[in-house]
Chain A
Amino acid sequence: MPVLRYAVRWTASSLVLLFSITAATFVLASLAPGDAARAILNTQGGGYTMAQYRQVRHALGIDAPLPVQYWHWLDGLLHGSLGVDLFSGQPVTQELNGRLGPSLSIIAGTVLLSGVAGVALGIASALRRGALGRLVDVVSLLGLAVPNFWLALVLVELVAVRIRVFPATGYAPLGDGPAAWAQSIALPVLTLSAGAVAFVAKQTRDALSEVMGAEFVVMLRARGLSPGAVVLRHALRNAAIPVVTVLGLLLVSLLGGTVLVEDVFSIPGLGQQAVTAAGSHDLPVIVGVAFYFTVIVVIANLLVDVSYRVLNPRLRFS
């Protein structure tokens, strides 16, 4: 029953979050100067009469009061539709689904690389301390200080242009083969991971160092367990909660952080779509992206919550 209670509470809070975020996006997007009708007429040369302008607004359905527009959007959502792109006329879900793969690939790749490399470095640093510990500190600072866009440009110049190991731009879907897919996200993932690896390593080292001084670790050693077994089977598990929290936060922050990387590497992700839609006042797409991002955040939070409970039995549904 506690599981059921948790599921009900999680579902209710997720629905409230989805409702609030999309409503807020509707309001904020509509406050920006200009609208999609002007954007469309401007792309057709810019000379238009007010009658033409009103006609286009009506045709797009953006002349209705904002609450009415939001109500229509919610009604569509209940029927599985997020509306249509005001410019291309394509269903928003179809457009965003095509861009979900690239964004999720980069985000998942970054979280995975940051998690694996960060935890590995953190363990090494916590166990050896000394020079390695200081090195992790220095690398952490460097990783956090180096701007993503600069690192991206350097990586492209060195790894893509000069030695041509990875492609400089573009995204290859998994359907083109796992190798092509992995190559296409390698540089974006490396770019975004630089700061994240360092941060995760520092969190891991700090948490692990604290745990390694605990009484139960001394007792485990006294029982004759190898240092590796003590760290991996017992200490790391106890030190993992702050690391999981950081990875969860990283995942959420990457939703916005991928925009620049998508631009530099010309990857057709959700971030690029959000920027384009915001610039052209394409409200259904803007709200659609907000909806997708919120769903991802909700799922990420669920995963983090479940991880807490797996890692720490005291937090289980009791």
Chain B
Amino acid sequence: MRSFRALDAPRRPRRRAVARRPGALTAAALAAAASLALSACSPSAGGSAAAAGRSAGGTLTVGFSVQAPATLDPAKAPQNYAWFEQLAYEPLIVQRSDGRLAPGLAQSWSYAGTGNTTFVMHLRPGVKFSDGSPLTAAGVVADLRYVVHSAGQMSPFLSGDTFTATGPLTVTIKAAAPNPDFPQILTQDDVVGGMISQPGLRAPARLGTRTFGAGPYMIDPSQTVAGDHYTYVPNPSYYDKAATHWKKVIIKVITDPQSMLNAVRTGQVQVANGDPTTIAAAKQAGLSVISEPDLWMGVTLADRGGVLARPLADVRVRQALNYATSRTAISRALFPGTGAPTSQATVPGGYGYDPALARAYPYDVAKARQLLAAAGYPHGFTLKIVTGEYGGMNLMAQALAQQWQKAGIRLQVTDYANSNQFYSAAFGAKFPAFMTVFGQIPVWVEGPSLFLPPASYNPFHTAAPALAALYGQESRSSAAQQPRLDQQIQAYLAGQAWFVPVVTIGLPYYATKAVAGATTSARAPLLELDEIRPAG
């Protein structure tokens, strides 16, 4: 308030001065700007989201680069919005930043018998939600049923299962089909692992804007502006108070990459989603850049039955496209410092990664032409592809158009800036091929999204008995057997050239020196907010 008076006070005398000398008005404006500037530096400034960075120590402000979530309901929110959920909703099983799984609301868990169809969890006693209600096995069962009923992104992985409270603090899941990834699915990174209290489940309409979790924080609606910033304050009932590192956590939505970098550089934001276009500037500014490869980017050759593009029905043509791709050139030109060439639909250290497949398709235009000729296309063919603009995939499409021309393939690129238009065209089987950015997830979870017949990334519903058999084995396998089967599935996808993976990239995070604990790994590429604490 004092600084505002400093701005206001000179107005009257200076207004009189205008009568004598018109130029004085400009001087008044400059004086006002100067006093405003001074007030900006005064300790009285702050208390707002804009000034939140200056209240260091007690407040963690996190920059989120995607459009704000439409709902905070963990059963309905897509995985992209895990940050908004994990602060308030303690998961049954915690995924640490190094990829390890640790007890959360479930103290222990295991599969019963063989075949991955019965999963048993023993809950932590004495836990209360932020609304004061207790954690019970019956509550967890009600939550899991709500997840299935809500038909959110992860509900297919629990659909058809039966959930039973087999004790006051024991929950048993009987899977309709073998599921080897229950522990992973029930972590905070897959969102549905975060448990909702019984009062929350009884008022589902409120879950969109309020939180009803047992996590370290809870949303404060009075300090939240939907779409702009979301303020979380400590949950007084949290069972592990030592793990609550901040008096307040604010998630601030900043969609422009340069604005995000500016916010981190000025300390308004301490941790943020970065962007490949600003990594160099972030490093130059002395920020910590955290990035593990967690995505592969390339092309989905979707029309493997040749419905829209007959040549794609021939595996030799699909392999030719892989040989005609100079991954190294694209990686260096478009993703300097962030991308690495890849021939497989996973990332180093990720599920199913096989070092032997790393160079399965070396750049070889002659071989590509040879394969095309053998398939009956000695003069190449025209291929239509659709791209969005996320992460530079449109630039990659243009680069591929240039490269594939050398092998005689004329790529016609349709570029949709609007992501909804892109996804509608790609998943609606309107194009034989589409640009793809796909994240690092367990292969069993990946199947229904990426390569099984109902998968959205398989819009022509290609069915492959050999792949289905491998997937079936994977479903029933033990944890020790899974890595080998993961690799076999990846090898099948590479050999049959269902995709043209080009580069692996890691979406970067930026952190200031004010915080510690901001780390990720190939198996846990999402920054875990609950591990971030004040530096020193």
Report which A residues bind B (CB closer than 8 A): 33-34, 38-40, 42-48, 85, 87-90, 95, 98-99, 113, 116-117, 119-121, 123-124, 127, 153, 156-157, 160-161, 164-173, 176-184, 186, 226, 228-229, 231-232, 263-266, 268, 272-273, 276, 279-281
Per-position contact with A for B442-457: 1 when CB-CB < 8 Å, else 0? 0000001100001110
In the complex, the answer to whether A180 meets B259 with C-beta atoms within 8 Å is no
Interface residues in B254-271 by Cβ distance below 8 A to A read 254-256, 258-259, 262-263, 265-266, 268-269
User: Chain B residues with Cβ under 8 A from A43's Cβ?
Assistant: 70, 78
Majority secondary structure, A binding face: helix
Per the bound structure, the CA–CA distance linking A153 and B258 in Å amounts to 8
A43 → chain B closest CB, angstroms: 5
B338 → chain A closest CB, angstroms: 22
11 contacts between A and B (CB under 8 A): A44-B151, A166-B40, A167-B51, A179-B40, A183-B50, A186-B40, A228-B20, A228-B22, A232-B19, A266-B252, A276-B67
Residue B284 lies at the interface, judged by CB distance under 8 Å to chain A: no
Q: With A168-B268, A183-B39 as given contacts, are A47 and B455 in contact (CB-CB < 8 Å)?
A: yes
User: Chain A residues with Cβ under 8 A from B29's Cβ?
Assistant: 113, 116-117, 120
- Name the residue of chain B whose CB is nearest to the CB of A273: B227
Per the bound structure, the CA–CA distance linking A156 and B3 in Å amounts to 22
Per-position contact with A for B1-33: 1 when CB-CB < 8 Å, else 0? 101100100000000001111110110010001
Q: With A98-B226, A123-B22, A176-B47 as given contacts, are A169 and B4 in contact (CB-CB < 8 Å)?
A: no
Per the bound structure, the CA–CA distance linking A264 and B258 in Å amounts to 8
Of the candidates A90, A120, A182, the one whose C-beta lies within 8 Å of that of B208 is A90
In the complex, the answer to whether A183 meets B36 with C-beta atoms within 8 Å is yes
Residue B477 lies at the interface, judged by CB distance under 8 Å to chain A: no
In the complex, the answer to whether B227 meets A268 with C-beta atoms within 8 Å is yes
In the complex, the answer to whether A116 meets B25 with C-beta atoms within 8 Å is yes
Residue B420 lies at the interface, judged by CB distance under 8 Å to chain A: yes
Query: Which of A120, A231, A232 counts the most chain B CB atoms within 10 A?
Result: A120
- Name the residue of chain B whose CB is nearest to the CB of A263: B256
Of the candidates B1, B37, B424, the one whose C-beta lies within 8 Å of that of A166 is B37
Query: Which of B22, B47, B67, B254 counts the most chain A CB atoms within 10 A?
Result: B22
In the complex, the answer to whether B71 meets A87 with C-beta atoms within 8 Å is yes
Chain B interface residue number, banded? 35 or more
Of the candidates A46, A164, A182, A273, the one whose C-beta lies within 8 Å of that of B7 is A182
Per the bound structure, the CA–CA distance linking A39 and B78 in Å amounts to 13
In the complex, the answer to whether B424 meets A173 with C-beta atoms within 8 Å is no
In the complex, the answer to whether A263 meets B71 with C-beta atoms within 8 Å is no
B84 → chain A closest CB, angstroms: 13
Taking A46-B423, A88-B226, A120-B29 as known contacts, 18 extra A-B pairs with beta carbons closer than 8 A to each other, sorted by chain A number, are A39-B420, A44-B152, A89-B208, A120-B25, A160-B266, A165-B37, A169-B269, A170-B50, A170-B252, A171-B228, A172-B48, A179-B3, A182-B7, A182-B36, A228-B22, A263-B256, A266-B252, A272-B227
